[in-house]
Amino acid sequence: MTTGRATPGSSTRTLPTVEDTEALGRELALNLGRGDLVILDGPLGAGKTALSRGIAAGLGVLGRVSSPTFVIAREHAPSGPGAPGMIHVDAYRLGGLPELDALDLDSDLEDSVVVVEWGEGIAERLTDRHLHVRLIRLPNSDVRTAEWEWRTGRSSPIRSRSSPS
Ligand SMILES: Nc1ncnc2c1ncn2[C@@H]1O[C@H](COP(=O)(O)OP(=O)(O)O)[C@@H](O)[C@H]1O
Ligand SMILES: [Mg+2]
């Protein structure tokens, strides 16, 4: 794995295997606690769920992490008193703000880390800052690259939900 910086404040890493992606998740979890929001961006199969699994392992939360596609949000209980839980959300099918609001993630954020796959362009409004992670899949290869940074503001600086790549 090689780690570098794309722009000031952002970090990049090459992830040759799924284990590397999970290891990055565990590492990112070292800097996460209750109230933190993580937005995962990247196409289908890029490794968003694999990274979420690593974050869950790093936080020590309970329950197997799998794709939440059919449930929209899955709650992982903390390992013990004082530890954060994790809410794992798949925003792909969320119609928009009313559906996001209906999940009541604001109250979850009080004692959990909230991780949102496909969250870019919609989930930023939940907090004043979030950890943005973009996973890119190289063609005809298992290799992924990750680029991550803490972003401030409650709206997406890059593009809106209506224009996914
Ligand atoms: N370097 C890698 N990082 C992440 N996943 C990888 C990697 N190489 C192969 N894979 C595989 O790609 C798939 C990624 O799936 P998943 O994490 O569900 O993606 P997403 O949630 O972004 O749709 C898994 O089957 C995983 O084993
Ligand atoms: Mg997924």
- The response to whether residue 25 sits with its C-beta less than 6 Å from ligand 1 reads no
> What mean pLDDT do residues 79-108 have?
90
What separation in Å is there between the alpha carbon of 44 and the centre of ligand 1?
Answer: 9
| % of residues, the chain, pLDDT over 90 | 70
Report pLDDT for 160. Answer: 47
Question: Is 83 exposed, middle or buried (CB count within 10 Å of its CB: 0-12, 13-18, 19+)?
Answer: middle
- The response to whether residue 68 sits with its C-beta less than 6 Å from ligand 1 reads no
For residue 40, give the ligand 1 atom closest to its CA.
22
Q: Using the 8-state DSSP alphabet, how is residue 124 labeled?
A: G
Domains defined for the chain, CATH in brackets: 17-152 (3.40.50.300)
Report pLDDT for 69. Answer: 63
What separation in Å is there between the alpha carbon of 73 and the centre of ligand 2?
Answer: 12
Report pLDDT for 157. Answer: 67
Q: With beta carbons less than 8 A apart as the criterion, state whether 110 and 80 touch.
A: no
> What mean pLDDT do residues 123-150 have?
96
For 35-76, how does the pLDDT look when each residue is reduced to its tens digit (9 = 90+)? 999 999 999 999 999 999 999 999 999 999 988 666 789 999
- The response to whether residue 145 sits with its C-beta less than 6 Å from ligand 1 reads no
Report pLDDT for 8. Answer: 74
Confidence class of residue 89 from pLDDT cuts 50, 70 and 90? very high
Rounded to 5°, angle at Cα 20 from 122 and 93: 25
What separation in Å is there between the alpha carbon of 4 and the centre of ligand 2?
Answer: 25
